[in-house]
Amino acid sequence: MARALARGWGDPVLCSDTGSGRAAALVEELGGEALDSNLAVAERADLVVLCHKPAGLKPVAGEIAGVAKAVASVLGATPTGALQVVYPGTPVFRLMPNTAVEVRRGVVCYTPARVGELDPALEAEVVALFGRLGTVVPLDEQYLEAATAVMGVGPAYQALLVEAQVDAAVRHGLGHELAARLVIETMSGTAARRAARRPAASPRWSARESAPLFRTRSMRSSARIVSA
């Protein structure tokens, strides 16, 4: 996710890793500096974007809390309250992006601060920063897990659908490149058309337009499994 965010922003980065070399690879691509500790990043950055696994919350905070000027977290299953406990006195922002941020077509759910909790100017800057990566959707935190199940996991789920359709087309004799183009353009056009028709205002639209495949038990139960 760190790489997807950084590629979407397209700016030089200050970053660190646990020694894998991924930070250096990112700097090779985008410019900036791979620093040898999280503390060094926190000392120099105006905003630290946490992109480690949720289990790293306490260890990383142990290194940088009190030094980081502001923290934006994209950690799954890590509520704002948990961030505030380990980063006391530091402005913290909880966001949930999906991988399409890499091409600036992402969805970024954002749980806005309670009134008076954060400096509005700083909050506006953070929202604008993530707004460069796609659509920022403000969302009450109680709905964030459900939203993550569709927009966070969605790209993987939809990629599986693309692969399955491309494979089927290839089995029927189409070249892979052509099949991929047909499927991806179809998905893209369908998304644009669906957005234009404002499906939320027309609940019966999907039933009318959906192919029988999408009404099958297996498709719907797969969606339930993904979001479980």
- The residue ranges that bind ligand NAP (CB under 6 A) are 1-2, 16-20, 22, 38, 51-54, 56, 59-60, 74-76, 96-99, 152
Task: State which residue, 34 or 179, has the beta carbon closest to ligand NAP.
Answer: 34
Task: State which residue, 91 or 152, has the beta carbon closest to ligand NAP.
Answer: 152
Contact indicator for 93, 124 with CB cutoff of 8 Å: no
- Is residue 53 helix, strand or coil? coil
Least Å from the CB of residue 103 to ligand NAP: 14
Task: State which residue, 109 or 179, has the beta carbon closest to ligand NAP.
Answer: 109
- Taking the CA of residue 162 as centre, how many other CA atoms within 13 Å lie in the half-sphere pointing to its CB? 18
Distance in angstroms (rounded) separating the CA atoms of residues 113 and 126: 12
Which structure tokens are listed for 141?
A: 């935190």
Least Å from the CB of residue 58 to ligand NAP: 10
Distance in angstroms (rounded) separating the CA atoms of residues 47 and 26: 18
Residue nearest to ligand NAP (CB): 76
Least Å from the CB of residue 171 to ligand NAP: 29
DSSP per-residue letters across 71-99: EEE--TT--HHHHHHHSTTS-EEEEEE-G
Least Å from the CB of residue 20 to ligand NAP: 3
Least Å from the CB of residue 38 to ligand NAP: 5
Least Å from the CB of residue 119 to ligand NAP: 25
Percent of the chain as helix, strand, coil, to the nearest 5: 60, 10, 30
Which structure tokens are listed for 37?
A: 């500790």
Helix 154-171 vs helix 217-226: crossing angle, to nearest 10: 140
Task: State which residue, 102 or 179, has the beta carbon closest to ligand NAP.
Answer: 102
Task: State which residue, 99 or 227, has the beta carbon closest to ligand NAP.
Answer: 99
Task: State which residue, 163 or 177, has the beta carbon closest to ligand NAP.
Answer: 163
Which H or E run contains 109? strand 106-110
